[in-house]
Chain A
Amino acid sequence: MSLISTLINGHEGGLKQDGMTPMQKIALRFVVLGVLYYGLAAIEGMMMRMVEITPVPFIDDAHFFSIMTVHPMVGIFGSTYMIVFGAFLFLVPFLMKKPIFSLKLANASWMLVGGGTLIMWLAGFVFSYAPLYTLYWPLPADFSQFAIIGGIVYVVGVALIMVGTFLYSYNIFKTIMYTPEGWDKQPSMELFKSAIGFTGLTNFFKKKKTEHLVDLPVAAISRGTIDVGLNAVVIMAAGVLLLIYMFGAAFGFNLEKTWVDALLYKNMFWWGLDLIADGLVLIFVAGTWYLLATAITGKKLFMQNIARAALFVEMVVSWTVWSHHLMSDQGQSNFLKVFSGEMVTALELITQGLAVYITLVTLSRARPLKMTNELKFLLGGLLGFMLAVPAGIIQADLGMNRILHNTQWIIGSHVHVAILVGLTMTLYSAIYFLLPIVTNGAKLYSQKLATAHFWLHIVGGIGMGSFMGMAGIDGMLRRSTYIDGEYNTYMILAGICGGLLLLAFFAFLFNVVMTVGVKGLIGIYSPAKINTRECVPAQQEA
């Protein structure tokens, strides 16, 4: 078969549209958009890498910081949320062997999150709205630097993402709790308690233990979903606040210096943001590791009860850990800095360390294993968090934060290694694992490309994070531009590694497109021919 023919029709028949369920199509819609948004974030990242090496004529400061504003938003909401939501909306009913609560809500979720991300991105691209994702007060309402229309477009985009997020959260919990038509009445409240960890908690105080009604991966998804929902509430509240100031300015009332206490706002906003950074990322990732480890080995998870408890602890930790972002704020109380900032944060080393250990032992007990794509990417994901979490613990120390806060160490050694190596490689592992399930057995076009994808990604991700981190140790700030080549050696090396990441992405994208074909990719956005709310066709389930 010629290259063009494979590109159009896919490898060995590509994606067989006719046999796909609506749920399979929905999962793929989420994931395809998520992967494309990842590519957009990667290109934006490379544009910023170029500017950090040498000034680029068509990127001035206003443009640079508008890219910096939308880059993490596209990466987190457009890419990670989309891939995670698609995978979990498929996996929860799949693992519980019951139909999803609502296909309509699932479809609405990908449209809202995907569309909202595009609108939010346009606020940066068209209107150069650039308060960064942190939105430190009152910068987002500083209309001497930003156009009001840019802010309104930004808030509308983010609001749509959050509405999509609420729908996702509602659909997940309803799927866990509801009784499908023709089924015996389900114990909704008991399922809910088991999902969020309340059953596990009360079991500590009981002689006769209550049986867990939901599997561990579903429990992890539920607990992460709670943080997703709480985060959406905080971001929506910030959005409403911004809209009040924007409409005030539009009608001639400058509210910039009124009403909002900047430090209190910063506390509340970071409380919400940390539900993503320290809550759902760590919880979802741990849950995905457990799922992948049991799927790869076909065996039970090692120390399952400890894993459940650790997930519950992580959820509670994520509600109380935000103050490590305010350790350089002198107005923040020492108690919050030491208790929430240092001590509670240290618990993350334990919870994430436990997840790494449990996953590795589960894999080790099933030796010998074949080094499949899902296994090698899973190991890459574990390594990413083994590197990034200790880096985070280091910067969440009063002594270290005084000399590391807002440097490239934070965004390089911690954030980018956690997201690009830890989170993204875990997601790639899940994608390689789910690909045959959601495509009814589509065969990967090229194993060599998958191997190249792995090595380019892991070397590029760790390399880029490391060189950024070294620049940070030497004083390079993360939200500033340098025009005299002060950190050129590190930035050129980080740029080369960023280039490897981009190459890895194109290798993966090409491999997937050749696997399912352009026709297959377009076809997933057409209605399914099978009318069912089951996840996979009956013959595949059998």
Chain B
Amino acid sequence: MADSIDVLATLKLVYGIYAFIAISLISWFGYRVTKPKDDDAGAKPALFWTYVVVLAVVGTGLHFLTYNSVPWVPIDLNRASIKADTVFDITYEDHQMSFSSFPMQVGCGEHVVFNATSNDLTYGFGIFRADHTMVAQMQVVPQSRNDLMWKFGKNGTYYIRSTEYSGPRGAKMVAQNAIVVTGCDQDDVRAVEIGEQ
């Protein structure tokens, strides 16, 4: 099962290649535009409409691609019809996080729900590995539903950090070793208990 490391590595590669092409294209254009014209390339209607179709396909195709290849997208969209195996409640107040159980023990492949409630400000709920790469996050808005359903596919220990700014006092809201996942065949080598790295 793909996780955020796989998806973000793909993003880095694909966007890096795209950026290189875009910079090269403009550099080449900058050179060519100072030279005399030898044809009318770029002005043909067929090329223009092909370009428009490519933009439309790329712009919308990305969403179909991620729906079919990124595991958390269908879970998010079909959230209402999936029964949670475990629900963890997290309460935010006065720039503190409190947990219904700590650490939160998660079985491999279970559908768990992190149900966050804020009693004052807008915060964030982010799950991170020991090397600080992000697993997932959501906003925690007061008076609103903030429940993230997630399925872990690797063993590991993760920390929670508020990902949204809630004033200077909330700049470093962290709960170390807050989630422990067990029972998988594979270990998340980046997600080790902090203090035992």
Contacts and interface: CB of A to CB of B under 8 A. Distances in A.
A16 interface: no
A358 to B, nearest CB: 9
B7 A367 contact: no
Contact of A387 (B22, B67, B131): B22
Interface in B32-47: 32-37, 40-43
A138 B121 contact: yes
Contacts of A462: 23
Contacts of B43: 302, 361, 364-365
A387 B168 CA distance: 32
A328 interface: yes
A346 B30 contact: no
B11 A400 contact: yes
Interface stretch (A90-98, A200-208, A256-264): A256-264
A62 B168 contact: yes
Interface residues of A, number: 85
Question: Closest 6 interchain pairs by CB?
Answer: A346-B59, A399-B66, A399-B70, A479-B165, A331-B144, A349-B59
Interface in A347-365: 347, 349-350, 353-354, 357, 360-361, 363-365
Given A330-B147, A406-B164, A475-B134, A480 B171 contact: yes
A155 interface: no
Nearest to A406: B163
Contact of A470 (B12, B124, B147, B148): B12
Contact of B167 (A130, A390, A397): A130
Interface string A451-475: 0000000000010001000100111
Interface stretch (A115-123, A139-147, A223-231, A242-250): A139-147
Contacts of B67: 398-399
Contact of A331 (B30, B146, B164): B146
B171 A61 contact: yes
A350 B33 contact: no
B11 A368 contact: no
A367 B146 contact: no
B56 A350 contact: yes
Interface string A360-398: 110111011111000110010011001100110110011
A328 B142 contact: no
Contacts of A402: 72, 76, 136-138
A536 to B, nearest CB: 29
B132 A474 contact: yes
A416 interface: no
A466 B19 contact: yes
Interface centre among A136, A363, A391 (most CB of B within 10 A): A136
A370 B34 CA distance: 6
Nearest to A347: B59
B96 interface: no
5 contacts: A142-B121, A262-B122, A349-B59, A402-B72, A402-B76
Nearest to B128: A475
Contact of B143 (A262, A353, A360, A382): A262
B139 interface: yes
A360 B27 CA distance: 12
B141 to A, nearest CB: 5
Interface string A124-163: 0000001110101111001001100000000000000000
B59 A383 contact: no
B168 A145 contact: yes
Given A303-B48, A367-B35, A387-B22, A266 B8 contact: no
Given A266-B141, A364-B33, A405-B137, A383 B26 contact: yes
B40 A365 contact: yes
Contact of A398 (B36, B66, B129, B164): B66
Contacts of A466: 19
B163 A393 contact: no
Contacts of A347: 59
A460 B40 CA distance: 34
B15 A350 contact: no
Interface centre among A386, A387, A402 (most CB of B within 10 A): A402
A231 B151 CA distance: 40
B122 A136 contact: yes
B143 A261 contact: yes
B141 A394 contact: no
Nearest to B35: A368
Contacts of B63: 338, 342-343, 346, 397-398
A368 B59 contact: no
A329 B52 contact: no
A186 interface: no
A364 B38 CA distance: 11
A422 to B, nearest CB: 12
Contact of B141 (A62, A64, A329, A473): A329
B62 A330 contact: no
Contacts of A134: 165
Nearest to A263: B144
B57 to A, nearest CB: 10
B164 A330 contact: no
Given A398-B76, A462-B23, A473-B8, 17 more contacts: A136-B165, A142-B120, A261-B144, A302-B43, A329-B146, A346-B59, A361-B43, A368-B33, A368-B35, A379-B29, A400-B70, A402-B72, A406-B163, A466-B19, A475-B133, A476-B132, A480-B171
B141 A145 contact: no
Nearest to A353: B55
Interface string A469-494: 01001111101110100110000000
Contacts of A353: 51-52, 55
A350 B171 contact: no
A400 to B, nearest CB: 7
A413 B15 contact: yes
A402 B131 CA distance: 18
B55 A349 contact: yes
Interface centre among B19, B56, B62, B165 (most CB of A within 10 A): B165
